[in-house]
């Protein structure tokens, strides 16, 4: 059902007997929305702005109360992004960007700027699993010579809402439902889809959430986005609008849904462990910083408003310029002191970077700082080692919980003479100066008409995906919406949201979740304003597939395996940067057919194909005969095949496919069809190279079972 209208009677009914006995139990049916002070509120979807596209006003007491109350809901874990993993590293710009900005870390190519990066899931608690379907946070703290700069983004370029005043509503809807605290770290429940079906601006982000982007292979294979449009300002005061991107050097790759669910059970710390192990091994994760640069004045040029956080700027319209590299090369020494206590604040900017009037960004500027007061016990969180700037800090702030600095001056005010006037004001040429912008308009709670198109970019994203990616998105919607108990919510999702994105998509989901499909000829509620119908850059199929660096390969063995063949394949794959892990019946030595031995790292009881990128079974009659009798070993091959991963089988091991239930004819010699590398003989020349090529492809979707027509 849609939201209730305001009751016609101005006076609330008298409290019932139960309410008199329990005065603190709040029943909200047939009531009017108020502030905590009881002031009636008629609008809670738009913050108070200076004009339709102007900045949010500080006097908006309803917005500040609503956001303040939300910021302080959780003690001590984060209200959102509670589950995270972090790493230290550095950033270095390729060439000076002084044409666009005066920020030193972007203008001095000789400077290696220290950074701390925290990756996270959004919805789950600290104890939830890594591989749930969710947005991932990608937050970077730059310790620059001019102060800390925090680029706080996600692995998706858009967000669910346009105005920050709706953020508490959205997060409440996606969190576990309040009556039973179920489900954890999942969006497949009534309250989220109730919200989505009633708030059409969520449509674009929902498509990203249902896509493979919501289940990344690892943090190392995940893009990052600043989401909002910011400003770069050069030394002459000239501004350029900018969107920030992080591009992983290894490409952008994902898990498949069945695999992600199984990984949650096998290793709930899968992403956290992967990041830690990769850095410890010296295979440092790398990302390139990309910028989309837009002249001021062009914010409405592309058929949508650049201040709208539910929209992305297609790379085909404005290419991403890669300007520098981020390298993560050191793990934290203490998880709590660093990863848990790091405090990112969107308001932390340096000279040369400034904000825009994006109403979601304006809310975040307030919200992050406000949140840290509760999480970290007071206003001195910037003095914690992980948050402390590398440059000198001098001001008149004093006292409060957790104060670390010991000030010796008698003067704690400005201006002063007792302290020699210190600290003195900085030269405006080197200080942060807010970009001068003409702002005028009526104080108003409303949404600009330039924010009105909610569906065309959702359609653009859907059209931009490869066929396998679209099938995965449809399957995700069918899974999620089928979990919704109330039929009227399922109907609204189909007939108010999905039909406006793609009618065939809506019909397929409707049939799967038991509601009537939309009628033929139904027109979308909003007409697209951009002529671009697809953006190939949005498909992960178009990401780099040319490296097997850090890819993990499971090697299945039992006594009698082909040792020389394994040695040759290992030499080839490890020479290209892959990691081979031998899996055996026990952790004891396993003898090869030629007198050698291998000591397994894992057993069939503790490992699974879902923890690896590829599976290799060396030949050897005796070894393969044993493996066929081990159901978990057969499952290794079966699951790897079902999940479309690279498989390598040689000699007698080619019969493992038959044991797994996949009887496929094999051509003479090497066979590389569908990413399954098979050789009738051991030690066939070129076997390792073909296997490496298959691993680099990430997945072989031609093996995937087709969805319903």
pLDDT at 71 over 90: no
- Report the pLDDT value the prediction gives residue 268, as an integer from 0 to 100: 96
Fold classification of 552-703 (topology level)? Rossmann fold (3.40.50)
Q: In the chain, which residues fall in CATH 2.40.180.10?
A: 49-383
Chain segment 229-273, per-residue pLDDT in tens = 999 999 999 999 999 999 999 999 999 999 999 999 999 999 999
Question: Where would I find the beta strands (DSSP E) of 214-269?
Answer: 224-225, 230-233, 239-248
pLDDT at 700 over 50: yes
Q: What is the mean pLDDT of residues 268-280?
A: 97
- Report the pLDDT value the prediction gives residue 396, as an integer from 0 to 100: 87
- Report the pLDDT value the prediction gives residue 28, as an integer from 0 to 100: 74
Catalytic center residues: 81, 154
**Measured distance CA(567)–CA(678) in Å, rounded:** 17
pLDDT at 435 over 90: no
Chain segment 328-369, per-residue pLDDT in tens = 999 999 999 999 999 999 999 999 999 999 999 999 999 999
Whether residue 589 contacts residue 598, with contact meaning beta carbons closer than 8 Å, is answered with yes
Predicted confidence band of residue 709 (pLDDT cuts 50, 70, 90):
very low
- Report the pLDDT value the prediction gives residue 427, as an integer from 0 to 100: 87
Q: What is the mean pLDDT of residues 412-429?
A: 88
Task: Give which of 84, 76, 83 is closest to 374, Cα–Cα.
Answer: 76
Q: Which of 32-46, 426-440, 611-625 has the highest mean pLDDT?
A: 611-625
Angle at 90 between CA 85 and CA 95, to 5 degrees: 135
Q: What is the mean pLDDT of residues 268-288?
A: 97
The answer for residues whose C-beta is within 8 angstroms of residue 215's C-beta and 6 or more apart is 131, 132, 133, 254, 255, 256, 257, 260
Q: What is the mean pLDDT of residues 218-224?
A: 98
Q: In the chain, which residues fall in CATH 3.40.50.880?
A: 552-703
Tell me what the pLDDT averaged over the chain comes to: 91
Its sign, for the CA torsion 498, 500, 502, 508, is positive
**Measured distance CA(701)–CA(675) in Å, rounded:** 9
Task: Give which of 166, 172, 74, 73 is closest to 123, Cα–Cα.
Answer: 172
Looking at the domain covering 455-542, what would its CATH class be?
mainly alpha
Task: Give which of 304, 115, 352, 343 is closest to 224, Cα–Cα.
Answer: 115
**Beta bridge mates, 92:** 325
pLDDT at 2 over 60: no
- Measured from the Cβ of residue 230, the count of other Cβ atoms closer than 10 Å reads 23
b (16+ CB within 10 A) / e for 247-278: bbbbbbbbbbbebbbbbbebbbebbbebbbeb
**Measured distance CA(27)–CA(560) in Å, rounded:** 70
Predicted confidence band of residue 13 (pLDDT cuts 50, 70, 90):
low
Alpha carbon 105 to chain centroid, angstroms = 25
- What is the DSSP code (8-state) at residue 516? P
- Report the pLDDT value the prediction gives residue 412, as an integer from 0 to 100: 87
Predicted confidence band of residue 24 (pLDDT cuts 50, 70, 90):
low
Peptide bond into 497 cis (omega under 30): no
- What is the DSSP code (8-state) at residue 308? -
Q: Which two tokens stand for residue 69?
A: 């109350």
Predicted confidence band of residue 525 (pLDDT cuts 50, 70, 90):
low
Chain segment 88-136, per-residue pLDDT in tens = 999 999 999 999 999 999 999 999 999 999 999 999 999 999 999 999 9
Task: Give which of 264, 15, 532, 184 is closest to 273, Cα–Cα.
Answer: 264
Q: What is the mean pLDDT of residues 378-400?
A: 89
pTM: 0.90
pLDDT at 26 over 80: no
Chain segment 542-587, per-residue pLDDT in tens = 999 999 999 999 999 999 999 999 999 999 999 999 999 999 999 9
pLDDT at 601 over 60: yes
- Report the pLDDT value the prediction gives residue 430, as an integer from 0 to 100: 85
Whether residue 157 contacts residue 320, with contact meaning beta carbons closer than 8 Å, is answered with no
Least confident of 172-181, 392-401, 622-631: 392-401
CATH code of the domain occupying 49-383? 2.40.180.10
- Report the pLDDT value the prediction gives residue 42, as an integer from 0 to 100: 84
Q: In the chain, which residues fall in CATH 1.20.1370.20?
A: 455-542
Q: Helix, strand, coil shares of the chain as percentages rounded to 5?
A: 30, 15, 50
Q: What is the mean pLDDT of residues 275-295?
A: 98
């Amino acid at each position: 059902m849609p939201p209730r209208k305001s009751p016609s009677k101005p006076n609330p009914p008298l409290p019932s007997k139960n309410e008199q006995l329990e005065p603190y139990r709040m029943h909200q049916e047939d009531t009017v929305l108020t502030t905590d002070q009881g002031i009636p509120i008629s609008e809670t979807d738009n913050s108070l702005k200076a004009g339709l596209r102007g900045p949010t006003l500080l006097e908006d007491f309803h917005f500040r109360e609503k956001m303040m109350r939300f910021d302080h809901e959780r003690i001590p874990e984060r209200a959102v992004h509670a589950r995270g993993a972090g790493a230290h590293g550095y950033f270095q710009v390729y060439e000076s960007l002084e044409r666009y900005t005066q920020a030193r870390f972007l203008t001095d190519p000789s400077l290696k700027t220290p950074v701390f990066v925290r990756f996270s899931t959004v919805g789950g608690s600290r104890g939830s699993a890594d591989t749930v379907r969710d947005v991932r946070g990608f937050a970077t703290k730059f310790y620059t010579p001019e102060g800390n700069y925090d680029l706080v983004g996600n692995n998706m370029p858009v967000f669910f809402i346009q105005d920050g005043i709706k953020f508490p509503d959205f997060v409440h809807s996606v969190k576990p439902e309040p009556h039973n605290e179920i489900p954890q770290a999942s969006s497949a429940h009534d309250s989220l889809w109730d919200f989505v079906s009633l708030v059409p601006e969520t449509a674009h982000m929902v498509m990203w959430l249902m896509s493979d982007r919501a289940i990344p292979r690892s943090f190392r294979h995940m893009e990052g986005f600043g989401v909002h449009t910011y400003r770069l300002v050069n030394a002459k005061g000239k501004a350029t609008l900018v969107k920030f991107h992080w591009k992983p050097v290894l490409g952008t790759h994902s898990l498949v849904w069945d695999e992600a669910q199984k990984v949650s059970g096998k290793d709930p710390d899968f992403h956290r462990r992967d990041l830690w192990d990769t850095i410890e091994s010296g295979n440092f994760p790398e990302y390139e910083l990309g910028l989309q640069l837009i002249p001021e004045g062009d914010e409405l040029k592309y058929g949508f408003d650049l201040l709208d956080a539910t929209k992305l700027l297609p790379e085909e319209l404005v290419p991403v310029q890669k300007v520098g590299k981020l390298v993560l090369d050191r793990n934290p020494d203490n998880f709590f002191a660093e990863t848990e206590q790091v405090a990112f604040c969107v308001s932390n900017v340096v000279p040369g970077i400034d904000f825009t009037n994006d109403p979601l960004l304006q809310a975040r500027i307030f919200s992050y700082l406000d949140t840290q007061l509760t999480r970290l016990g007071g206003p001195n969180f910037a003095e914690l080692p992980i948050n402390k700037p590398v440059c000198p800090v001098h001001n008149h702030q004093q006292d409060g919980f957790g104060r670390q600095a010991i000030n010796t001056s008698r003067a704690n005010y400005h201006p002063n003479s007792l302290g020699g006037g210190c600290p003195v004001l900085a030269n405006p040429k080197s200080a942060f100066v807010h970009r001068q912008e003409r702002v005028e308009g009526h104080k108003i709670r409303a949404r600009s008409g330039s924010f009105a198109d909610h569906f065309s970019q959702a359609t653009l994203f859907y059209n931009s995906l490869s066929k396998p990616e679209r099938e995965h998105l449809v399957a995700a919607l069918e899974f999620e919406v089928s979990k919704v108990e109330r039929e009227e919510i399922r109907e609204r999702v189909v007939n108010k949201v999905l039909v406006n994105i793609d009618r065939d998509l809506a019909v397929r989901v409707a049939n799967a979740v038991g509601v009537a499909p939309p009628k033929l000829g139904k027109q979308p509620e909003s007409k697209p304003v951009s002529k671009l119908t697809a953006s190939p850059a949005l498909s992960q199929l178009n990401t780099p597939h040319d490296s097997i660096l850090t890819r993990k390969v499971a090697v299945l063995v039992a006594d009698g395996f082909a040792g020389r063949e394994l040695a040759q394949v290992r030499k080839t794959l490890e020479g290209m940067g892959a990691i081979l892990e031998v899996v055996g019946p026990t952790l004891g030595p396993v003898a090869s057919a030629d007198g050698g031995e291998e000591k397994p790292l894992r057993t069939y009881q503790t490992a699974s194909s879902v923890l690896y990128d590829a599976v290799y079974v060396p030949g050897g009659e005796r070894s393969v005969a044993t493996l066929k009798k081990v159901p978990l070993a057969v499952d290794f091959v079966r699951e790897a095949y079902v999940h479309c991963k690279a498989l390598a089988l040689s000699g007698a091991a080619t019969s493992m496919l038959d044991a797994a239930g996949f009887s496929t004819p094999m051509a003479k010699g090497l066979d590389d069809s569908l990413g399954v590398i098979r050789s009738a003989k051991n030690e066939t020349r070129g076997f390792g190279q073909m296997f490496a090529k298959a691993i680099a492809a990430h997945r072989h979707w031609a093996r995937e079972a087709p969805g319903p027509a």
